[in-house]
Amino acid sequence: MATVGNLVANLALESASFTSGIRRAERSLTSGTARMNRALIKTERRFDTMSRNAGRGLKRLSGLMVGFAAGFTIAAVVKEFSKFDTSLRKIVGLVGVAEKEVGGFRKELLKLGPAVGKGPAELAEALFFVTSAGLRGKKAMEVLER
């Protein structure tokens, strides 16, 4: 590439209007920030009020929920016991195992549950099938323990 010559230029900058524009923008931003801060403070106060009111409502509601939970818990316990008892009665009535022997099973099933991670109703139902297959006494319980 060939060089033709050098260009020398003097540039002058009129900064007054530029500086004036920057100052206007700065005032606008400051004013907008102040308005935004005021709005945030109002919003924060409203949320505090809502939170206090919700807290009072939740406190009342939690009392009701505890009552409902207790009711549901009692109902679940009664239902599980009913299933447990029904399975043991089926062993007596349908399989023909003596009631005294089933009374012993009852105690053993309640002890076995935590050891094998099963509930008493589930174990009693399983025992019904085991005794229906002809196993009795200790042999029936050994099958459940596995």
Is the dihedral angle over the CA atoms 66, 72, 74, 80 positive or is it negative? negative
Q: How confident is the model at residue 13 (pLDDT cuts 50, 70, 90)?
A: low
Determine contact, residues 83/126, Cβ cutoff 8 Å: no
The least confident of 31-45, 92-106, 107-121, 132-146 is 31-45
Segment 54-89, tens digit of pLDDT? 556 556 555 555 555 556 677 777 788 888 888 888
What is the residue extent of each domain of the chain?
16-145
Determine contact, residues 127/140, Cβ cutoff 8 Å: yes
Average pLDDT over residues 22-29: 69
Segment 120-131, tens digit of pLDDT? 889 999 999 999
Average pLDDT over the chain, rounded to whole?
A: 77
Report yes or no on whether pTM surpasses 0.75: no
d(CA 105, CA 112): 10
- Closest CA relative to residue 132, chosen from 94, 89, 103, 105: 94
Top pLDDT among 3 and 86 is at 86
